[in-house]
Amino acid sequence: MAAKPQVRNAQDAGSAPDDRETHPVDETLPPVKMLTSGLQHVAAMYAGVVAPPLIVGAAVGLSGTELTFLTGASLFTAGLATFLQTLGVWKIGARLPFVNGVTFAGVAPMLAIVDTTDDKADALPVIFGAIIVAGLLGFLAAPWFSRLVRFFPPVVTGTVITLIGVSLLPVAFGWAQGPNPQAEDYGSTTFLSLAAITLVVVLLLRRFTRGFLKQIAVLVGLVIGTVIAIPFGVTDFSPVTEADIVGFPTPFHFGGPQFALAAIISMCVVMLVSMTESTADMLALGEIVERPADEKTIAAGLRADTLGSAISPLFNGFMCSAFAQNIGLVAMTRIRSRFVVACGGGFLVLMGLSPVAASLISVVPRPVLGGAGVVLFGSVAASGIQTLVKAGLEKDNNVLIVAVSLAVGIIPITAPEFYHAFPETAKIILDSGISTGCVAAVVLNVVFNHLGRGRDDDEVTAPMEPGEDISGSHTAKAAHVH
């Protein structure tokens, strides 16, 4: 006799088979909710997408028109990469609510490539050639890289998720102070007040509203903050009036790709950093949406990252990676549908094809984004702490893993010049607190919980309660953490 299909709970028993198998990640939402929630994801990550092309384009010496083109190309390719992640093709794509965009880890090495290129006109083609090679090599390596997932138990993932949130908070604080760190009014009371007002609006909406309005609190907060900023002269509508209605990122607009060995090696290192961060992000998102990312999911997600990176230069885009700030949005809103994020990817593609549409998001003042970012990025850190609760911190070994890994990961935030004497290639990795903290957590977990296991497995008291007795039931909670 054939076995009866299992159901998840009593409510599922009376449901149709399709209902039983539908996970919130795979649900489709009503059109209005889908569109507004997708737009909210775009608003959360827009500044992160456009910053790298603006920085690199300025270093190359591009004109204002060319900078706009490069920015639009980055939005377009971010949308394509997001489609790959959320919708998936074959064994490509994690099929989670995962936003992809230009990774900031590549900015420093790309600037180094610009500096070492004699003819600046060749700088972008050299960068694009290096990204293509790094992307293809990463795509081939994805299945092997994904096998590292067994080294990411809760004690590691919780630490990394917390570091993701903590590492992003300085970005929000920088936004809150204004758009230009060199300006005299940077960090003025006006900018900080606008950030605070936006933060308060988001908190009030989250506290006193329900349903759909509560879920789009960040988007509503951004709109209200932008309107409030108008009398202060902070809201700039000139990008909208000056932008073209339609524009397509012409393939290889800046010239065909050039392949320089030094540049390729540099971008391959960035790819490894990006794959490490993406793995941590997928594990974090899997916990948040209650669909844990296994080895197969991570391999598919890394294929989407790397293939998206290899395709991006065709349309004048840069290396793509997962955007951790959008994980905070998923954690806060509890909207877990991957189709919502795919809708956000659609907005990114449209913005890449229409400079006017792209400029609408750019109207939101940076301090307003900063106020909302505090909630978004703080939510990521809070999710990490929730994961650490499951990590068996009754064990002295796990306490040490978390303590040292957090310390290592926070170094680039609290002491930005700490690694100033190291080579530029090494600083690509060391200046990423997420990467260094992740590596430290994995290595320490192997040393303390795998090598010589059983020699020192005694339970100890929590650091803040030095004399507390460990009961049998308490010990049972410290289940398999490695």
Q: Is the pLDDT of residue 7 over 50?
A: no
Q: Which residue, chain included where needed, has tokens 């994904």?
A: 146
Mean pLDDT of 344-355: 87
Question: How far, in Å, CA of 432 to CA of 293, rounded?
Answer: 23
Question: How far, in Å, CA of 245 to CA of 261, rounded?
Answer: 39
358 confidence band (pLDDT: 50, 70, 90): low
Mean pLDDT of 396-401: 90
pLDDT of 452 = 63
Question: How far, in Å, CA of 386 to CA of 327, rounded?
Answer: 14
Closest C-alpha among 440, 461, 443, 459 to residue 451: 443
Provide the CB-side half-sphere exposure for 373 (13 A, CA). Answer: 31
Q: Which amino acid belongs to residue 351?
A: M
470 confidence band (pLDDT: 50, 70, 90): very low
Mean pLDDT of the chain: 80
pLDDT of 76 = 92
Q: Is the pLDDT of residue 311 over 90?
A: yes
Percent of the chain with pLDDT over 90: 23
Asked whether 126 and 59 are in contact (CB, 8 A), the reply is no
pLDDT of 19 = 46
Asked whether 222 and 372 are in contact (CB, 8 A), the reply is yes
428 confidence band (pLDDT: 50, 70, 90): low
The pTM assigned to this predicted structure is 0.65
Mean pLDDT of 350-365: 77
Closest C-alpha among 388, 385, 437 to residue 410: 437
Question: How far, in Å, CA of 128 to CA of 126, rounded?
Answer: 5
The per-residue b/e assignment along 295-310, b for 16 or more CB within 10 angstroms, e otherwise, is eebbbbbbbbbbbbbb
Q: 407 or 322: which carries more pLDDT confidence?
A: 407
pLDDT tens digits, one per residue of 145-184: 888 767 778 888 788 878 877 877 887 898 899 888 888 8
Pairing outcome for strands 100-102 and 320-322 = antiparallel
Q: Is the pLDDT of residue 137 over 70?
A: yes
Identify the three-state secondary structure at position 333: helix
Asked whether 49 and 318 are in contact (CB, 8 A), the reply is no
Residue 421: other Cβ atoms inside 10 A:
8
User: Phi and psi dihedrals of 450, rounded to 5?
Assistant: -120, -55
Element (H, E) at 320: strand 320-322
Q: 384 or 480: which carries more pLDDT confidence?
A: 384
Closest C-alpha among 14, 6, 52 to residue 312: 52
56 confidence band (pLDDT: 50, 70, 90): confident
Mean pLDDT of 325-347: 85
The 8-class DSSP code of residue 187 comes to T
Closest C-alpha among 270, 382, 284 to residue 324: 284
